Chains A and B, each alone.
With several copies, the nearest count.
Chain A
Amino acid sequence: MTDPSPGAGYTASELLAVMSGRLLEDGQIVFAGVGIPLLAATLAQRLHAPGLTILFEGGTIGPFIVPGELPPSTNEQRCTRRANMLLTITDTLLLLQRGYVDVGFMGGAQIDIHGNLNSSFIGDPQRPTTRLPGSGGGNDIASLTRMIVAMKHEKRRFVDKVDFITSPGFLAGGESRSASGLIAGGMYRVVTDLAILGFDEASRRMRIDSLHPGVTLQQVQDNTGFELLRAPTIGATEPPSARELAVLREFDPDRLYTA
């Protein structure tokens, strides 16, 4: 991945964290994965969304992450600092099913034209080139709530059809998701280091919604393995502010997730 604006004073990961954090709204309940999602949600909580509630898959409701003590996954005690409640993993995931979660927020390894995510196999699943770690909560989160995905924008990651649907987006597009039994939720936004992408209401194909500072439509298309639709009006995102970057760096001083 290339930093879209070298000399901008922030890394691509920091850009991702800032841009996706801005999509979260005050008062929402957000089911956040470790890494960029956790950082972005914490950033939002400290800046524009103090009433944001973070849920971690490991069983934590409403924690406050301590700067400099980021957890290695969502399942360690660092995730529980000053939480409102701890509960079992199964009951935490059931909060998604019950409908209590506004936004599921994850990273992605590979995504396709309909927002399906793959974190299981690269290549033929029967004889994979690479066995990836798998679903974790991804399948459940993507099946049961509105999703924001934060990932780096590379051609090999944005493919026409994923090798394996680990976490369902709109499956084959159109009405195929709800026909499969997934009648709630769905892919909402994909945030990359180049742009913010949404999905066309009818075809459920990926669409460019807005561009990050200094990025062109062509640049986004060039880094994508399929043809992107374009929103009627393409927005331009504001660059990360000094305040946003300062808070981010306070939380991840060792650049564990934002190198």
Chain B
Amino acid sequence: MVESYLDLRGKIASRDRSLREKVMSLEEACKLVRDGDHVALGGCTLSRTPMAMIWALIRAGRKNLTVSRSIVSTEGDLLFASGAGARIVTSWFSQGIVWGVSKVMRQYTETGRAKFEEWSHMAMGLRYRAGAMGVPFMPMRSMMGSDVAGQLDSWREMTCPFTGEKLMLVPALNPDVALVHVQRCDPYGNAQIDGLQFMDIDIPMAATRVILTTERIVSNDQIRRAPDQTKIPFFTVDAVVEVPFGSAPHECYGLYEPYFGHLDSYAEATKRDPEAGVKQYLDRHYHGPKNWAEYLGLLGIENMLDASRRGRSIHDD
């Protein structure tokens, strides 16, 4: 369950980590993801979800992925229903508390067609962090005693050699691929993230390959003017894709809030017959459009303007 240190180092050693341009299209970036890969998603719940990349992977017909994320929202429904995702590893999975329990998540997990593997939220964070640090585990003080731990077998307990206290050791998570959406990065992959960071500093450092989608590509000169704002270093990154509104209908801090109306209608559409509802949604929004702009068109210009107005209001202070 934890890769050997030499294997992990070997994977990094074989990557081209030089300062080079790596701008490409969503379709080209898809080639960095293979069926069966463990794909970690940046963002959390409705925030900075790498939606455009998920959209492209579903369109490309990727299968049997294990997907991990801090908290999973509608993208989890779509990964399950499209067949792209076979297993989701996370601390919480539903559309969002205001929409009740996801009927699609229930449909797929209760029938055993897909797996939802539950860890505590801090365990998810510390698993990525151990992966990012190059150690096989992190010690922590929660999850012990609970059935969350009880249903998993890939952790260990230890008695601390310093204090004699009982500790939970959670295994490092080193995803095959990380998908992270950011406000801006340069063509080399130096990324600056505004607002909430979630687990998006540890995830790219833990992963073997990293695909960044970004609201806009800025020059390397601009990055170098404020190097203390860079959150992801270029040498961890393998692909940079410029995708405006790349998290829609979720939010991107400072730029747009969630498209609430769209999310309400998604919840409504998947309520009565979750499977048919989500399939229709995929046909219309994922397989129908010829490109991302057409997808955004389906979400509606007025809704885009409304989400943007709300999103930018964060700068009013």
Contacts and interface: CB of A to CB of B under 8 A. Distances in A.
Contact of B251 (A77, A97, A166, A176): A77
Contacts of A139: 91, 120-123, 142-143, 146, 148
Contacts of A29: 17, 235
Interface stretch (B27-35, B191-199, B278-286): B191-199
B195 A77 contact: yes
Range for the number of chain B residues in contact with chain A: 35 or more
B118 A81 contact: no
Given A130-B110, A133-B92, A183-B165, A81 B148 contact: no
Contact of B96 (A72, A97, A138, A171): A72
Interface in B12-28: 12-13, 16-20
- Interface SS of B by simple majority: mixed
B133 interface: yes
A222 interface: no
B166 A90 contact: no
Interface string B205-244: 1000000000000001001100110100111100000000
B91 A135 contact: yes
Contact of A90 (B101, B202, B235): B202
A89 B168 contact: no
Given A62-B19, A130-B101, A181-B165, A75 B198 contact: yes
A176 to B, nearest CB: 8
Contact of B91 (A27, A86, A137): A137
Contacts of B46: 72-73, 75-76
B145 A181 contact: yes
Interface in A47-93: 51, 53, 57-62, 72-73, 75-90, 93
Given A58-B198, A89-B197, A100-B236, 14 more contacts: A28-B18, A53-B18, A76-B251, A76-B257, A88-B198, A90-B126, A120-B118, A133-B101, A133-B105, A134-B118, A135-B120, A144-B142, A167-B146, A257-B98
Which 9 pairs from chain A and chain B are nearest by CB?
A180-B145, A90-B125, A27-B18, A181-B166, A143-B142, A99-B9, A85-B230, A136-B92, A133-B94
Interface of B: 5-6, 8-9, 12-13, 16-20, 44-47, 70-71, 90-94, 96-98, 101-102, 105-106, 109-110, 116, 118-123, 125-126, 128-129, 132-135, 140-148, 150-151, 157, 165-168, 188, 190, 195-202, 205, 220, 223-224, 227-228, 230, 233-236, 251, 253-254, 257-258, 260, 311, 314, 317
